[in-house]
A and B are shown apart, each in its own frame.
Chain A
Amino acid sequence: MADDTDATIDSDPSDRQALSRPDPSTRRRFLALGGAAGALALAGCSAQQTGDDGGDGSDGEDGSDGSDGDGGSDGEDGSDGDDEETPTLTVATYTSFIDAPSVSPGEWLKEEFESRVDAELEWATPDNELNYYVERAASGVSVDADLYVGLTTGDLVRVDDQLDDALFAERGEVDGFDAVREGLLFDPFDRAIPFDTGYVSLVYDGTTTEAPETFDGLLADDHSGALIAQNPGGSSTGRSFLLHTIHRFGDGGVAGDGDEETVAGDDGDPDYDYLDYWADLQANDVRVLGSWDDAYTAWSNGEAPMVVSYSTDQVFAADAGEDLEQHRIRFLNDQAYANPEGMAVFADADEPELAREFMSFVLEPEVQGEIAQRNVAFPATDTATLPDDYAELAKEPADPVTFTYDELQGSVGEWIDAWERQYAGN
């Protein structure tokens, strides 16, 4: 959430059983050999017997993984499931949760959890994030992780649409669940537990402009060409901002089969929907770039005074010693789109109970505070321990808005599709 990196990196140690890596001497020999393509293709292969009880696929044949010469890999423990004394909990998440240039909660969580529980925590951050596990499940390969951290409402909708069998298990008994703020619970089937939340808002340079207070204000002449947003099909901030405009102006019946609005906007005008608003916004020269990085880079270079980003922007700005006046937050119509992030246990987890223990741990007041600060977001519980001045830089809107699972299901795809067709029609 701290960094909206749209394509993150695969560093998934969990599927190592099925896959091998050459040891350094193999590589050197290969370098000397050069062209032996066939030998190569074979050497990269591994075989694993299928059709056993599914869950733990740990074959001992492949001891070479992780020992790629740098000595720093923590992957020497390919024995999950075999050795009951120190079980391994494989936690899948997105990369910036464990590896961001500024701060990320991963390292602290691993150390703290391992100090309390007799278990090893292993992070898995495949490039395709949750889709990687959907692909595994759809291809009939074991999921090889115990829980996923970083689920959004849209993710759950997509997974449930795509897979016939359940990817995630029911929540089960998790201590501390009662402390989670009611408004954040986003899974109607009670699998995912929210662990933090963030808000997508406008960030603007107060030294060159004063951001409008409402969506309509963005259409004013003096804000022509002043806003940079992101592609809703590829960026989560871009998608949140689009959803916010739908929440505000209604969907005009785009997703329904009739002309009845499935979402009536807050603006109370049934004849003006989000596509009308975007037509006006486009006429006022809004920029829709690809990723959050693209947008923030352009904004930082002064291409436009306003950008769609996170309401925690000043936390980073203060940390980097930048002028906070150039990093002001605006909640349009006093609202911001809320993106609660959840965690859920995989249905075929090897260590479901350990996974639930981890979820209880995450909901503890101190841990909630640490995650919020290190992920630069807001806690999901009422009981989190946070510094008193946290709210000074990390801003929360008076009126957070979001779509529920049921509202997104069967609609979000059509909403984005209709927007794309209008915005990019050549």
Chain B
Amino acid sequence: MSDASRGAAGGRHTLHDRIEGRLRGHLLTALAVVTSVTLVVAFYYPVGTVLIEAVVVDGAATLSVFAAVLRDPFYFGELARLFAGESPLAVARALLGPDRRLGIVGFTAYQAALSTVASVALGLPAAYLLARFEFPGRRTLRSLTIVPFVLPSIMVAVGFVATFGTNGTLNAALSTLGLPRVDLMFTLRAVVIAHAFYNAPLVARVTTAAWESVDARAVETARSLGAGPVRAFFDVVAPQVYPAVLTGAALTFVFTFGTFPIVLALGGFELATIEVFVYHLVRDLSYAEAAALAIVELVISLGVLLAYLRYEARNTVSARGARPLPRRSLLPSAPTARELLPRLGLGAYAVAVGVLFLAPIASMVLASVTGGDGALTLEHYRFLVDRQQTGAAFQVRPWPAIRNSLAFASASTLLALPMGVVVAVLTTRRYRGRTLVDAAAMAPLAVSGIVVGLGLLRGLVFGVEVAGWRIAASGAIAIVVAHAVAGYPFVVRTVAPGLEGLDRSLIESARALGASRARVIRDVELPLVWPGVVAGAAFAFAISIGEFTATVVLATGGDAYTMPVAIERFIGRRLGPATAMGVVLLVVTGLSFVVIERLGGETSGL
């Protein structure tokens, strides 16, 4: 932008300064406008082209498709009778009866609720460990927590079957110990565990960030006023951590509500969720019903997110500092119950983590070095090298996939951060219609991935016709923007709770001293919520690395593919090549997370 002003002859300094001054003054507004435009172009318009098919059939507006879906007991179970006009009392009785039908929608919500409980239960101890204890490798461990988040479902399926299957590692270990074998595969339990594998890290990471932002002085004040450690925890620490736990829970619910390949891989069609049907309907080009189902999905997911946001807005605790609580050593300082019990609990938790998280990942790694005859081999990695060297130009090769993944993820993180911060600032103010802004900003989390893919194809790849010109977009830049749109809500959700809790007087003082709004955000607010910013960046990066649907749609030509695309392409009758590429993804992503967190620093430096 300064290039343009430099061209103006005469008085360029004043012009330059004036433009710069203007920009500074309106930086926030400008960023908000850019964010909105990005969302409309890369999300709302594309998704709209698909969702509108639910209510416009053959060019005529109709609600019949929608009504048919709502009244269909297959989808809505007993509730369908309510939509069909039966009395709420009769429906309530049926719902309480022994033969109640949940319908696909009801079942989807049920398994999502179970998955959310499991993810929170498995995620909280990790947050406790990472936020409150000091031990060698803690920072690296914290960085690596989100790794499961990026794994393609086929990799998780491979790891889970090898770990929890009839002939899996777990059963082998149980037999050796003389314990009864477990039959986990193709049950709801397997699906819930897999969902926890993906989402407990999310709960852990978000909660850790909030816990690390708790001001030690507040706890010290409470203690000095005579509160015991338990009382201080529940009165001071817990209120600041709850919103983060609920953030994690709400996001987990929304993700597992829209779950797709993993349910069918580990559960089976008996456990089919809404998204399974959206996929089938889109594949068969039955767009009206697919769009109607996707809207149902969207409304429920968004409802959960908004309910959570209402809670968040009401329950933030004002904070004004960021001196984190001192961490304790993992070794007990004295052999007292108070010192030993939490550590014993963490020991038991470590065993659970070993079985549920490390064993499946270890199984993936093992599968990548196991040949068809069961012996150890490096042939699958040789396949990667070989494909890199001799693959045809139109085939997917490993190195461009790695390079693209890193470039897209870095770029989309850099884009998602300002977008997320701006929206976080806007949505933590109080004004009429804020709920609407919240809903609009969070919608990318709640829309069916399959619908987004189809929308991007129509809206961006094919483009729109304006005055005889077809405007279209695809390739690397479109992928980066699409990834940023998918990732920025995480930045909002990790940054907003902290901003909401900031003592307003800090901002008002800075403004009174003449700082612009943007400057206050940069110099006062962001440093105070820095752990949230770093966590948000890590999530934006992870979302981009793991993203598949939008990438394949926008990656026209042969060379804008990413690591998950390469994994998918290398799936064949033998799993070796795909798992080897999966291990490459694991290593590259793990290293990236460590780098991101190092760049982010441990604290705000205040």
Contact = CB atoms under 8 A, between A and B. Distances in A.
Interface string B474-485: 111110110010
B177 interface: no
Interface stretch (A46-54, A171-179, A261-269): A46-54
Contacts, number: 321
B572 interface: yes
Contact of B166 (A2, A43, A302, A425): A302
A36 to B, nearest CB: 8
Given A13-B557, A233-B276, A289-B269, A48 B469 contact: yes
A4 B554 CA distance: 23
A35 B34 CA distance: 10
B571 A293 contact: yes
Contact of A10 (B263, B264, B553, B577): B553
B487 interface: no
B135 to A, nearest CB: 35
A139 B472 CA distance: 13
A424 B270 CA distance: 5
Interface string A284-299: 0001111101101110
A73 B166 contact: no
Contacts of A35: 31, 414-415, 417-419
Interface of B: 31, 34-35, 37-38, 41-42, 74, 77, 101-104, 106-107, 154, 157-158, 161-162, 165-168, 185-186, 261, 263-265, 268-272, 276-277, 279-280, 283-286, 372-373, 383, 392-397, 399-400, 407, 410-411, 414-415, 417-419, 453-454, 457-458, 461-463, 465, 468-478, 480-481, 484, 552-561, 565, 568-575, 577-578
A79 B165 CA distance: 54
Interface string A14-36: 01101111100011001100111
Contact of A298 (B161, B417, B555): B161
10 contacts: A15-B461, A128-B553, A231-B269, A233-B279, A233-B283, A291-B261, A297-B575, A298-B185, A421-B74, A425-B74
A300 interface: yes
B473 A38 contact: no
Contact of B38 (A37, A294, A296): A37
A60 interface: no
A316 interface: yes
Contact of A134 (B107, B285, B383): B285
A423 B267 CA distance: 13
Contact of A16 (B167, B284, B556): B556
A11 B400 CA distance: 14
A101 B571 contact: yes
A405 interface: no
Contact of B284 (A287, A293, A413): A413
B470 A48 contact: yes
Contacts of B418: 34-35, 37
Q: Contact residue range for chain A?
A: 35 or more
A424 B157 contact: no
A44 B472 CA distance: 8
A125 B558 CA distance: 9
Nearest to A35: B418
Nearest to A422: B74
A380 B372 CA distance: 31
B541 to A, nearest CB: 14
A303 B185 contact: yes
A134 B285 CA distance: 9
A38 B33 CA distance: 9
Question: Which are the 10 A-B pairs with shortest beta-carbon distances?
Answer: A290-B264, A44-B477, A233-B280, A21-B475, A320-B372, A288-B269, A101-B572, A35-B418, A294-B265, A127-B552
A99 B268 contact: no
Contacts of A320: 372, 573-574
Given A12-B556, A38-B34, A413 B286 contact: yes
B261 A100 contact: no
Nearest to A238: B269
A75 interface: yes
Interface stretch (A63-71, A213-221, A245-253): A63-71
Given A5-B568, A41-B481, 15 more contacts: A8-B569, A9-B569, A15-B556, A18-B462, A19-B556, A21-B477, A44-B474, A48-B472, A66-B559, A101-B578, A135-B457, A141-B462, A297-B158, A302-B167, A426-B102
B154 A16 contact: no
B480 to A, nearest CB: 7
B261 to A, nearest CB: 6
B558 A141 contact: no
A41 B473 contact: yes
A100 B417 CA distance: 38
